[in-house]
Homo-oligomer: A and B are copies of this chain.
Amino acid sequence: MAGSTWGTLLTMTTWGESHGKGIGVVVDGCPAGLSLCEEDIQEYLDRRKPGQNRFTTKRREGDAVEILSGVFEGKTTGTPVSLLVRNTDQRSRDYDDIKDLYRPGHADFTFDQKYGFRDYRGGGRSSGRETIGRVAAGAIGAKLLRELGITVTAYTRAVGEVEIDETRFDLKERLNNRLYMPDAKAALRAEAYLEELMAKGDSAGGIAECIIDGLPAGIGEPVFEKLDARLAHAAMSIGAVKGVEIGSGFQAAKSVGSVNNDSFIKDSKGSVAKATNHAGGILGGISDGGQIVMRVSFKPTPSVSVAQKTVNRRGEEADAVIKGRHDPIIVPRAVVVLETMAAFTAADLLLVSMASRMDRIQDFFRGQQEKGF
């Protein structure tokens, strides 16, 4: 339990540092027979890579994933799928400027306190590159869900104070702007805001939103392994996340019961549905068959080039001089991290939920016997 494994039946164990030999993940418990190739995973990794747009196209190459195990003749075998992304951009640059420094907003100080020392090169294990393992694993979770008709989609909801306007919401539009915002106008305004901050050497925070469509009702376990509790855990475990909301979230605190309650209705097919979705698709920690909605707050990128005061390893006051180019905002690249973590978490709980009912278990084993289990 040193914290690098996530999941119950479907698990991922990530490893790797920013400037070590590579980053990787072992996905265990992936059911056998899922069609899987490197492109399935690369597609997701490419979305979190730096330099994916007109502003930063220079580092297009890199972060190529290799499947090392668990896939045979194009299908998962049920045994661990090991994925490796070699670090290629390991310039032997000089880290003397930061190796003793406790950069504000970074984990330098806390790693030193916990472990006595740290791999300071590029942030080591606390670097954003750590998310490569999550995204690669989560891509498998997303593929598993798609085979069952379930889709997970995340996008940028807000950049600083610039939030999308629900009336202009267009999910496909997120693919047309570099900020992954499903509102073209908001994206333009957000880009202008970011340009302004970049000119000052400062950075912005923002909000990402993630939706899950097609998840059947009944997923999530009561009490501690509620679907929302697991999703919150998954989201908050992503670096720089400071808040998580499900459905009406913090707005629910200001609402009243008669408004916030979602009435049950019969939908056009005669199934039970909800008239509204303040619940965000989860009641009592269990999916209700509606759309799952989660929002996540990211703090501004801590690496800023404006002057900052800090302290060093020896307890002396020092200037935090952050060199190099840094993303002015984390959210657009983190969108795919949130999406894949949510997918993986939902897929895991979906598998767990198969054991909830005796009648379904009997059907399952009777069915296997008939087919010659």
Q: Is the CB of B24 within 8 A of A82?
A: yes
Q: Is the CB of A6 within 8 A of B224?
A: yes
Q: A104-B264, A106-B284, A224-B4 are in contact. Are A301 and B257 (CB under 8 A)?
A: yes
Q: Is the CB of A262 within 8 A of B3?
A: no
Q: Is the CB of A261 within 8 A of B104?
A: yes
Q: For residue A299, which residues in chain B have a CB less than 8 angstroms away from its CB?
A: 248, 252-253, 255, 260, 278
Give the copy number: 4
Q: A355-B31, A356-B115 are in contact. Are A263 and B4 (CB under 8 A)?
A: no
Complex Cα distance, B113 from A360, in Å, reads 12
Q: A1-B11, A110-B284, A256-B300 are in contact. Are A72 and B309 (CB under 8 A)?
A: no
Q: For residue A298, which residues in chain B have a CB less than 8 angstroms away from its CB?
A: 252-253
Q: For residue A364, which residues in chain B have a CB less than 8 angstroms away from its CB?
A: 354, 360, 364
Q: Is the CB of A355 within 8 A of B360?
A: no
The residues in A between 287 and 341 inclusive whose CB is less than 8 angstroms from any CB of B are: 287-289, 297-304, 306, 308-311, 315, 317, 320
Partner of A243, one of B249, B263, B282, B353: B249
- State how many residues of chain A have any CB contact under 8 Å with chain B: 173
Q: Is the CB of A310 within 8 A of B114?
A: no
- In angstroms, how far is the closest chain B Cβ from the Cβ of A298? 6
Q: Is the CB of A247 within 8 A of B253?
A: no
Q: Is the CB of B11 within 8 A of A28?
A: no
Partner of A33, one of B15, B245, B358: B358
Interface segment among A42-50, A176-184, A204-212: the answer is: A204-212
Q: A4-B26, A205-B255, A356-B114 are in contact. Are A242 and B246 (CB under 8 A)?
A: yes
